[in-house]
Structures are given as structure tokens and as C-alpha cells.
Structure 1
């Protein structure tokens, strides 16, 4: 369900080429070392197949957390601040030139990788590193939730389901904390951001999005209906042979207000992202993110309508319950289901979309890009079919012996009137938050580490001389067609000149 971010990559950079420290001479070299580890980890992650990238996320988070204290120490040393009781003195000798590849900015050339953005400030390098950390936390939440949607294997147990959702919620709240810290840090900047990825409106939007996703997971943890629908579609499930699905009573009204709160956070994130748009190229965000935010808001409001329908059905108001389900379908932009005989183009299109989404889940690539609209549609249609049968029921009296009265007068029609959609939507209450974003704990270097960097470095800082990944791709020589793997050197000529 969480958005599938793409982690950015960065160029090599030597801190010693732009910064010197009289109080801690080894600080620039150590910062370059840890930044080089982050760069290599991001390059390795990018080249892994999508099915293996999730396993590499913990190391990326660990490497970024190890690099940030050194970068923040240099940033603090530029203003002669003190850390752990020690004053750090850092002098800027030349303007740093660092490149990062944006991943959520719109690309001017569709189908191609976005060009790197050149930044000339350590502050924005820290911004990119922290944004990458927030994206990695969100991707870890996706990896935790992936087993819940796989229908090719055995269904997971309720305990494993709860553990997965709890773990994903923790990662999303960590992501919201990081983005919230970036938003507060951006308030004091006087210069414009080099790209939309690290603009103040963008990082505030990412904090709202992570909070919205965490709020919706609080509902998913106790919502039995998505699991029932997934269990019904799982060919490996055999529990239906001897046990009916258990659907416990839920706190429907509370869950509905939580869903409305998630929708409000998503709407706020969408408006902030729309505020970033207005330029060309990297000055606006890509359409996939904006579309996801809109779909997330629709899904959250549809879930709220479904829970209001469940609350009405538990009270015996089947007509109102069906009305709320129709409200949910309207929020999703789906027309009410109609029974048609023969082939139906809309039904074929829906079945094709479901199969395509199932294949994405099995491959683990780009699943959930609709923010759960398809899953919520399945749940609402299941409940609508069930409750429509109940609402259309006609009750006849049981006659055990002949009696002299008119049986027709004893027939009870249980059908209830379905109220208009506009009337129900106008009665929606306000949302209710369940999570609060904790302040991000800025990592700091231990005092012992600071004292160890007072010595002169024992080697040169040559991290800025490493080739860029773009250069590696341009200079890489592929295997000629028809050649045996590993023998490309035998087919390479001394000259690189081409003849036409």
C-alpha cells in the first residue's frame, strides 16, 4: 500500500576538497569515507532486481545513519558550534559541487532516467540524504506488508498479519519523523531548493503522506474484510472446507473517523505537491506520485463509507448500509454493480485489471500503485452482494396447521429504502487522528569519536576521484551478439572510431 519510492543516487565527493578543520583535521576524511559507503550502497541497490531490493534496505538505512553525524558535524562546524562539549571549527575553502539524481521530480523526457541535479551546498546534500532515509523507511514498510497481499502461497496467520502491520506502522512513523524534521529545517533556509524533491512543500507533503499511510494501517490491523477477500481468492486456502471465515464485530464508527483523518492528511499532501508544480522539468513532481495521492484519498474515504455501512448493518438498518456502500463506490469512481447476462466489456476490463495487479504482487514490482482502490472495491462489492440479498428478503409465516385467516396479511417485506448518496455524504463527521509524529532525534557523533579526529589524517582523501555511475555506463562494453559470455575482450578493437 505505501508508495513505491525510487531511491536516488549520488556522485562521488571529497569533503577535503572543500572543507578543512583546524580543531578536528580528520573530520573531512571520515565524512568522505562514510559518504562513499552510502554512495556504493545506493548504486548496489539500484542494480539489484526488484525482488531482492527489499533485503538491502536495512543496510542502506544503517549506512545513512552512520554518515549523517559526520555531515551534520561539518555543518555545525561552519558556524563554530559545539558538539558533546567540544567546539568544532570548519572552514569552507571552495564551493562544493555535488550531484544527486532526483526520483520524484517530473522528467522532461518520458521513458528516460532523470538527469542529475548539481547542488553547491552541504545543506542540500544533507537534505537529499535525509529524504533518502525517509524513502527507505517507507520501502521497508512496503516490504513488511507484501506477504499480506500474496495469494499464491499459504495464507499467513493472524499473528503474523498483526506483526507485519505493526512493523510497517513503525517504519512509516519513522519516515514521517524524518520528513517532518526536514520541513522544519527548510523553514530557516533563504535560498530556493535546487529541485522539487527537496522543496519545503514536498518534504511537508511526504510527512503528511507517511502519517496518512500509518493511520490507515491502524484500521487495517483490525479490519477483517480485506483478509476474507484475499482468503477467498487464494487457491491454496483449504480452511473454507471445515471453517467459515470469522468476521468479528469491529469498532466501525471509530475506524470510519480514522479513515477520514487519513483522507485529510492525503488531501493536505496532494495540495502541497500541487503547489510545487508550475515549472518545467525538475521543478514539478511526477504524475505517478500525484495520482497516488488522489487515489489514496479516494480509498480512505471509501473505507470510511464502508465502515459507516457496517455500523448501520449492525444496527439492522440494511437500507442505510447499502446506501453507504454506494457512497464508497462513488468515492472510488465506480458505478454500482449490475447483474448482466453474457459478455460485459466493463467486467472484462475489471477482470483484466485484477489479474494484472495480481501479477505485480507476485513479482513484487510496482504493486499497490492504485493505493488500494482495487482491494477496497472487492470488499465493497462483496458486502453489497451479501446485504442486497438480505434487503430483498420476503418473510413468509410458517404454517403448521390450517387456520381460517388470510395468509397474505402475514407476509412481511423486509426491504428497506436506500437513502440518496448526497444525503449520506453530507453527514460525514470529521476525522480523528490516532498517531502523533515524534520529533526526529538528530544523530550526533560520540565524544570519543570526536576526540579521535583531532589527529592529522594518515591518508589522502581521494573519494572525489571515483568515476560516476553515468561514466561507468557509458564506458561499459557489452558482449557482442552471438559471442560466448565472458569473451567480449576478444572482440574489442584498439580503435573506438565508428565508420558509417
Structure 2
């Protein structure tokens, strides 16, 4: 599952307070206006309940896509680069001061969000805005995949399943392209970032993560077993007869190598974020997710190698591959089928808790699919063990030699170079006119206010009993 990113929020800022532009006087006003829209959209999204945030992602993506061309135009003017063949002359008067709330940085107290950081460079403004866009693309991928795991309604059809996976893959590859562009840009900086969120290591890790998740979706699109396991728990399923999934032998081996490629990308991302990075430490929940994704990917590879062996009539070797998959997941294999006690109750409680998260649409899949893959492997192990004990009686080899002979991964996706958005010639020509008004903010609050000022006429200490709202500056 794509990682459940938290989108950042930002403070107010007017470009004319720190920059001037003689060639295109209206550019700064338009940049401030679109940044104000981004700020309001992110703040509104954050205040929505977690289960209702998915429909608001399109507004977040639209506002960021509208703001980035103006931000890149100001950045190009500072660097004396032409836009659409038009020279933009932007002059820095004073150092800009913006505030962003990081979401991947480790907070001072576990479970509490990190404090806002002050950004005094337009370069890091670009990093935060584009990181927010990439995170929003990842969240859109989660929203597309969510119906595939809901068991309280009728199962989705094959066409709807493939359409959801295709849409999620497209969103993840867009996110990977943005992360890769930011990582390349960050590696050329000589200053230290204000927080780990926009450090070169963290951004590169997020690019590897998005590529790993997109690779796993290429497998999920044609992998029938997770749907079978979810179908078995769905009370609304109307199919009384069950036919074993068909999977060609060549495709099973190909899927295993794709999963190994995903595990390599997840391992690379984990190595980049496991220690201290520039600006501080990355949230341990994110680091734990990367490790879980690596384990899950290798376990999937073991399962597909087992399917490949079972299709070839080697049931004993297939069962050994399933044992290796459970070992990669860190799950203790039960020798007795009907094992009871506290361990079984704990497992059933964890499964029911994850199912409730899926139904509510809140923080589901935070284990990178470990629980789901465990269910699939245990289902196949029970089926093949019964078959081997009653019919075939093949010896089950040890798992060590099998893991030692695993091949290398195989790539299926490549990250396309990101092309920064640019303003069209007509818009640039129109901004040569003087601005209609000033973009000065006045005496407004300067952050994503969690505590608002006292309402006019309110008795001191009773501000929480009044409905207030932050003024819209633009």
C-alpha cells in the first residue's frame, strides 16, 4: 500500500515584500495570489476528518499545479534564466521568510507533530511545494486502491480492479518523477536543509519508495490470491463455488523477480533514512514502513517462487518457499494446525483491527501489506500441506539453500524526467502590465493558525465558544 503521507501546511507570504520585478510587475502579485490559494487549500484539507480527506486531494493537486508555474518563473528570474524565450528580471531585496510544517521529521515527543520550520530561501520553497504535490499524488494512489480491500461491500470486478491499479500506478510514477527531480536538485546545494523532509537523502528515499510501490502494483494487477483471501472474508460475496486461480509458470517466475526489484528499492530507501540525515532524523514510523515493505516484497517473491514450483509438480519445494516467505515476514510458523492460546487470539485481534481500519479508511496498510501477505501465504501453506500429506508425500527441503539461490530483481518501470511547468507566452506578456493592487499581507497571522485571536466583544478566556475563521487575503 502507498505510504499514508501527511500533507504540510504553510504560513502567509507576499513575494513583493522580498522581491521586485521590473520586467513583469504583475508576476509577484500572481505568485502571491496562487500561494494564498495553496495555503488555504492545505489548511482546509488538514482540518477535514481523516476518513473524508480523499475527495479533497484533487483540490490540493490543482492548487499546487496552479502555483508552481509562477514559483518557477520567479526562481528563473532570480537565476537570470529565460522563460519561453522571455527574460524575467527579478531582484532580491530582502531574504524571504516562510514557514512550513514538516511531516516526516521526528517530533520532540512521539505522536506529536513537529514544530514549524522557518524557510529563508526560495529554493526550499520550491522543495516544500513540490514535495507536497508528490505526497498528494501518493495519497491519490491510496484512494484509488482502497476499494480493493473493503470487505463490507460486494467485491469489485476484474475491470474495476485493473482500472484502480492502473490509476494508482500512474500517480505513483508521477510522484517518483517529482522526487527524483528534487533529489537531483538537492544534491547540488551547498547549504543544509532546515529539516529532514527536504534533504537529499529523504527525497531520494521517497523516490525509491514510490518506484517500489509502483513495481508491486504491476504484480498486484494480475495477482489473484490477495483478492481470493479478501473474498473469503467478505460476507457480501455471492459466489458459492471457488475455482483455484490460474497462473502461467513463466508469469509466476517473472512476478517473483519484480517483487525482488521492489525489495531492492525499499532496501535502498531504508538505508538512506535509517540513520541521521541532513537537518535531523526522519520519523521512525516512516523508517519502519520501509523495512516492512522490504520484508513484504521478499515474502511475495518467495510465494511466487513457490507457485512456480507447485505448477511444476514440486509441492515439497513449494511448501519450503512458503516457509521462507513467513521467515522473511518475521512470522513464526506453527507446526500444529490448530494452535491456540494467547498467540492465536492476538493474531485474530490484529486482523480484525486492520479490517476496521480499512472499513473506516483511516491509516490502513500502515504495515506495508505484511498482514495481507501473511494471510495469503498461510492459505497456500494449509492447502499445499494437506495435498502433500495425503497424495504426494514429498520431502520439504530447508529454506536456507532456497534463499541463497534467489535471482536478482527485474525492473518494469523507469522514472521519467520531470519537466518543471512554465507559463505560456500569453500569460507572461500580460504580466508586463502594472499590478492592479498590492499583495501586502497587512497585520495577519503568519502560520496555519491552530489558536485564533480573541473575537471582538468576547469575554476573556471564552474564545473557544465562538466560531471564527481565518480571513482570506486574496
Q: Tell me which interval the TM-score lies in, with the shorter structure as reference length.
A: over 0.9
- Residue-by-residue CA offset, 1:174-205 (whole Å, 9 max, x unaligned): 00000001011112211111110000011110
Using the alignment, how far apart are the partners of 2:448 and 2:227 within structure 1?
45
Give 1:343 deviation, angstroms: 3.7
Q: 1:353 aligns with which of 331, 350, 373?
A: 350
Q: Secondary structure at the match of 1:227?
A: helix
Cα distance change on mapping 1:176 and 1:353 into 2, 3 Å: same
Structure 1: runs of 5+ lacking an equivalent: 395-413, 478-488
* 2:343 is the alignment partner of 1:377: no
Cα distance change on mapping 1:80 and 1:345 into 2, 3 Å: same
Give 1:275 deviation, angstroms: 4.3
- Count of matched residue pairs: 461
Cα distance change on mapping 1:151 and 1:23 into 2, 3 Å: same
Give the aligned partner of residue 408 of structure 1. Answer: none
Give the aligned partner of residue 473 of structure 1. Answer: 451
Using the alignment, how far apart are the partners of 1:8 and 1:464 within structure 2?
24
- Residue-by-residue CA offset, 1:360-399 (whole Å, 9 max, x unaligned): 11111100000000000000000000000111115xxxxx
- Return the index of the structure with the highest Cα Rg: 1
Using the alignment, how far apart are the partners of 1:466 and 1:301 within structure 2?
52
Using the alignment, how far apart are the partners of 2:53 and 2:233 within structure 1?
27
Give 1:467 deviation, angstroms: 2.0
Cα distance change on mapping 1:291 and 1:476 into 2, 3 Å: farther
Q: Secondary structure at the match of 2:118?
A: strand
Question: Which deviates more from structure 2 when the two are superposed, residues 158-167 or residues 243-252?
Answer: 243-252
Give the aligned partner of residue 469 of structure 2. Answer: none
* 2:408 is the alignment partner of 1:430: yes
Give 1:449 deviation, angstroms: 0.5
Using the alignment, how far apart are the partners of 1:342 and 1:381 within structure 2?
13
Give the aligned partner of residue 196 of structure 1. Answer: 196
Cα distance change on mapping 1:471 and 1:170 into 2, 3 Å: closer
Give the aligned partner of residue 467 of structure 2. Answer: none
Cα distance change on mapping 1:245 and 1:48 into 2, 3 Å: farther
Q: Secondary structure at the match of 2:141?
A: helix
- Residue-by-residue CA offset, 1:391-433 (whole Å, 9 max, x unaligned): 1115xxxxxxxxxxxxxxxxxxx31111111111001000000
Using the alignment, how far apart are the partners of 1:342 and 1:476 within structure 2?
61
Q: What TM-score, normalized to structure 1?
A: 0.89
8 Å contact kept, 1:19–1:93:
yes
Using the alignment, how far apart are the partners of 1:11 and 1:149 within structure 2?
37
Give the aligned partner of residue 23 of structure 1. Answer: 23
Tell me the C-alpha RMSD between the 2 structures: 1.8
Q: 1:493 aligns with which of 433, 453, 459?
A: 459
Give the aligned partner of residue 152 of structure 1. Answer: 152
Using the alignment, how far apart are the partners of 1:114 and 1:202 within structure 2?
16
* 2:32 is the alignment partner of 1:3: no
Q: What TM-score, normalized to structure 2?
A: 0.94
Cα distance change on mapping 1:62 and 1:390 into 2, 3 Å: same
- Residue-by-residue CA offset, 1:332-373 (whole Å, 9 max, x unaligned): 001113336574211100000001001111111100000000
Using the alignment, how far apart are the partners of 1:74 and 1:464 within structure 2?
22
Q: 1:448 aligns with which of 407, 426, 434?
A: 426
Report 1:166-245 matches (<5 A).
166-239=166-239, 241=240, 243-245=241-243
Using the alignment, how far apart are the partners of 1:334 and 1:216 within structure 2?
21
* 2:67 is the alignment partner of 1:67: yes
Give the aligned partner of residue 284 of structure 1. Answer: 281
Give 1:276 deviation, angstroms: 3.7
Using the alignment, how far apart are the partners of 1:349 and 1:496 within structure 2?
46
- Residue-by-residue CA offset, 1:227-252 (whole Å, 9 max, x unaligned): 0000000011111x2x3245121411
Cα distance change on mapping 1:496 and 1:260 into 2, 3 Å: closer
Give 1:105 deviation, angstroms: 0.5
Give the aligned partner of residue 338 of structure 1. Answer: 335
8 Å contact kept, 2:99–2:447:
no
Give 1:466 deviation, angstroms: 3.5
Give the aligned partner of residue 482 of structure 1. Answer: none
Using the alignment, how far apart are the partners of 1:318 and 1:61 within structure 2?
49
Q: Secondary structure at the match of 1:86?
A: coil
